[in-house]
């Protein structure tokens, strides 16, 4: 595009900003409830709503309450939920066997949601960290995060989630080759229509802190994730990762975190035109909530502006803990 602007007074940009109607007509991008994926934390028990201190307004929910949340989300028009389990520390092992237990918390939640609210899409997390005694996304031997052994474990985990009825698998582990391995295994097992939303460009970020509290991984994690998650200094590498994951069979791709990486979102959308999502992660949510609680910013307006920024940067949708709040604001402003 060659932006054209006549000199003033032929062009006065303020003409189209004068009234709400003119501003609406000139609006380039839009935000709708269809653009939201709501990440939800699941825990055991029943009737349990367990607040997460570093994520005001976000709770770990027992499965019965997750089903209620799914009903609320469906009523608001939110198209998808993404489930993250808070696993009992007693079930965490170095072999991560609980990850492919068909009756683990995540798989039970998938079945319960699909039985009660069949129309909402259920997305999963495919990574070993909620089940790993050392908090890593892959299997660890002698301090090394093993790639190919981890991929085998992740494939097992993915198949069990597909079997439980997941609509979208979300590999967040950043091992090499996992998308192709999962896609082949899904085809072979007859799960031809299960979608994969690859966390293709996932950075080794300090913005994940509150999430690790939420899933109980903070204490467990030994070291950092820099040998598998991306260096925040890199951008071309993100394009190569997205290309690779699309070739291996990803249907959708994600950039994570969100707001500090909008340049990556734009590059990925322009280069591939594939369904592109960003994850507005826990630390981004916590910063907005914390400043709003102190009265330093208008939380609702900052929330809406942040979501519009993702759309403007080329994202088709956003995983955000704000999803139900955003949906309510959109409903009110209709
Ligand atoms: C781990 C995983 C993480 C998040 C989603 N999946 C954290 C990590 O990589 O350590 C972060 C989400 C958030 O911060 O909101 N598989």
Nearest alpha carbon, ligand 1 atom 2: 172
154: left (phi over 0), alpha (psi -120 to 50) or beta: alpha
Is 52 part of any domain? yes
Distance between CA atoms of residues 200 and 242, nearest Å: 5
Q: Measuring CA to CA, how many Å separate 280 from each of 66, 145, 164?
A: 21, 26, 27
Rounded CA separation 288/258 (Å): 13
Instruction: Report yes or no on 209 lying in a domain.
Output: yes
What's the 206 CA to ligand 1 centre distance in angstroms? 10
Burial of 70 (0-12, 13-18, 19+ CB in 10 A): buried
Query: Could you tell me if residue 20 is inside a domain?
Result: no
Note whether residue 4 is domain-resident: no
Closest residue by CA, ligand 1 atom 6: 172
- Hey, what are 184's tokens? 């082949």
In a domain, 19, yes or no: no
Q: Print pLDDT tens along the chain (334 aa).
A: 778 888 889 999 999 999 999 999 999 999 999 999 999 999 999 999 999 999 999 999 999 999 999 999 999 999 999 999 999 999 999 999 999 999 999 999 999 999 999 999 999 999 999 999 999 999 999 999 999 999 999 999 999 999 999 999 999 999 999 999 999 999 999 999 999 999 999 999 999 999 988 887 777 788 999 999 999 999 999 999 999 999 999 999 999 999 999 999 999 999 999 999 999 999 999 999 999 999 999 999 999 999 999 999 999 999 999 999 999 999 999 8
Pairing of strands 140-141, 144-145: antiparallel
Q: Are 120 and 205 in contact (CB under 8 A)?
A: no
- DSSP letters of 170-203? -B-S--TTHHHHHHHHHHHTT-TT-EEEEEEEEB
Give the C-alpha separation, 274 to 252, whole Å: 7
- 22 is a domain residue: no
Query: The domain spanning residue 252 has which CATH number?
Result: 3.20.20.70
Q: Whose CA is nearest to atom 9 of ligand 1?
A: 208
Global confidence as pTM: 0.97
Say yes or no: CB of residue 248 within 6 Å of ligand 1: no
Is the shortest distance between the CB of 125 and ligand 1 below 6 Å? yes
Domain that holds residue 306: 31-332
Provide the number of structural domains found in the chain. 1
- The answer to whether residue 14 is domain-embedded is no
Domain contains 252: yes
Gap from CA of 51 to ligand 1 centroid (Å): 18
Q: DSSP state, 231?
A: P
Q: Where are the beta strands (DSSP E) in the chain?
A: 36-43, 49-51, 59-62, 80-85, 121-123, 140-141, 144-145, 168-169, 195-202, 252-256, 276-280, 317-320
């Amino acid at each position: 595009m060659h932006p054209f602007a006549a000199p003033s007074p032929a062009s006065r940009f303020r003409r189209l900003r004068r009234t709400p109607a003119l501003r609406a007509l000139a609006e380039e991008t839009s935000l709708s409830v269809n653009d939201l994926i709501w990440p939800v934390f699941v825990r055991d028990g029943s009737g349990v709503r367990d607040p997460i201190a570093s994520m005001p307004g976000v709770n770990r929910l027992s499965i019965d309450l997750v089903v209620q949340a799914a009903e609320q989300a469906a009523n608001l028009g939110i198209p998808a939920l993404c489930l993250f389990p808070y696993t009992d520390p007693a079930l965490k092992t170095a072999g991560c066997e609980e990850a492919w237990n068909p009756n683990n918390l995540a798989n039970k939640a998938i079945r319960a949601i699909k039985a009660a609210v069949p129309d909402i899409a259920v997305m999963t997390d495919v990574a070993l960290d909620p089940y790993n005694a050392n908090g890593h996304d892959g299997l660890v031997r002698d301090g090394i995060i093993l790639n190919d052994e981890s991929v085998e474990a992740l494939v097992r985990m993915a198949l069990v989630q597909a079997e439980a009825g997941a609509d979208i698998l979300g590999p967040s582990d950043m091992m090499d080759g996992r998308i192709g391995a999962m896609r082949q295994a899904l085809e072979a097992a007859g799960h031809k229509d299960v979608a994969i939303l690859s966390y293709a460009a996932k950075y080794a970020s300090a913005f994940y802190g509150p999430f690790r509290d939420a899933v109980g991984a903070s204490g467990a994690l030994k070291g950092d994730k820099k040998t598998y998650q991306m260096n925040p200094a890199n951008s071309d590498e993100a394009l190569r990762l997205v290309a690779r994951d699309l070739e291996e069979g990803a249907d959708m791709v994600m950039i994570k975190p969100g707001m500090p990486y909008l340049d990556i979102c734009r590059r990925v959308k322009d280069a591939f035109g594939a369904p592109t999502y960003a994850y507005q992660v826990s630390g981004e949510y916590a910063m907005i909530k914390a400043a709003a609680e102190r009265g330093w910013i208008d939380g609702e307006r900052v929330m809406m502006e942040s979501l519009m920024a993702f759309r403007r940067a080329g994202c088709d949708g956003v995983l955000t803990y704000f999803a139900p709040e955003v949906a309510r604001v959109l409903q009110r402003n209709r």
